Amino acid sequence: MKKTTFIILAAIALVATACKNNSENITPIVEDSQEVSADFVTVTSVVPDAILEIRYFGTYNFIGTRIDGYLQPTALLTRQAADSLRAVSDDLQAQGYRIKIYDAYRPQCAVDHFVRWGKDLDDTLMRSYFYPQVDKKDLFRLGYIAEQSSHSRGSTVDLTLFDMRTGKEVDMGATFDWFGRESHPSCQGDPESGTYYAYDGVDTVTAEQFRNRMILRRAMLRHGFKPYECEWWHFTLKDEPYPDTYFTFPVKEL
């Protein structure tokens, strides 16, 4: 039992360090304008079969209120990212799935909202839903909250699978924006090889849930996206057109 506990704690520490070290560290060029860049499109104009559940427009998110900068429940991406996502969608539809998007372009003011919330240690309204095992004071140190996000560059998307046969969202083993090791693609498996394993019988992510994550991951990688090792739902276009620009215009229909 002691050996098993040690292995689990070591894995948690290693993953937390990886998240922290891979947080955005580019010196940002902030495009301080309310005018939408001409290179952005509404995702559903390019991927009409995408299902939208824009969590930051509503109250079911880790803060519990609508996030600054989300004026409408829509998703925006650069044209290049949207075109690649269309290829992902077509690929997954052939396998019996649709894509469901939680977030895409995220204005810098929304990230600033996250940071303000993270510093208010008394606001724990949604802790039981999104971070029951993490002390809020540790969210910055562990890399769950940061001052910049690749989402603000316009070519990152948070998404999951929707099973067209069952008419339900696919079980991925951890909800979107879960602050914990269960969100990591490497939790109980090797995402590079697709091999599943368990910690001496401790299944926080089941073999089926891991397999579901790999279906999404492989489709995204096939069509030009790169994964984020701390979130199974998060992917960024490899050849993003704005690798060091963080936009501020709000999320609304174009």
Question: How many CA atoms lie within 13 Å of 37's alpha carbon, on the beta-carbon side?
Answer: 21
Catalytic residue among 24, 31, 231, 253: 231
Relative orientation angle of helices 207-222 and 79-93, to the nearest 10 degrees: 130
Residue 214 identity: M
- CA 33 to centroid of chain Cα atoms: 25
Look at the block and give the residue holding tokens 């079980």.
171
Residue 61 identity: N
Beta bridge mates, 206:
none
**What is the rounded distance in angstroms from the CA atom of residue 164 to the CA atom of residue 76?**
24
Is residue 100 within 8 A of residue 53, CB to CB? The reply is yes
- Asked if 231 is an active-site residue, the reply is yes
What does the block give as tokens for 35? 């005018």
What does the block give as tokens for 130? 């999104």
**What is the rounded distance in angstroms from the CA atom of residue 210 to the CA atom of residue 244?**
32
How far CA 134 is from CA of 32, 80, 230, in Å, comes to: 34, 36, 15
Q: What residue ranges in the chain does DSSP mark as E strands? A: 29-31, 40-42, 51-52, 76-78, 97-103, 156-163, 168-169, 189-190, 195-196, 225-228, 231-237, 245-247
- Give catalytic residues, as residue numbers: 231
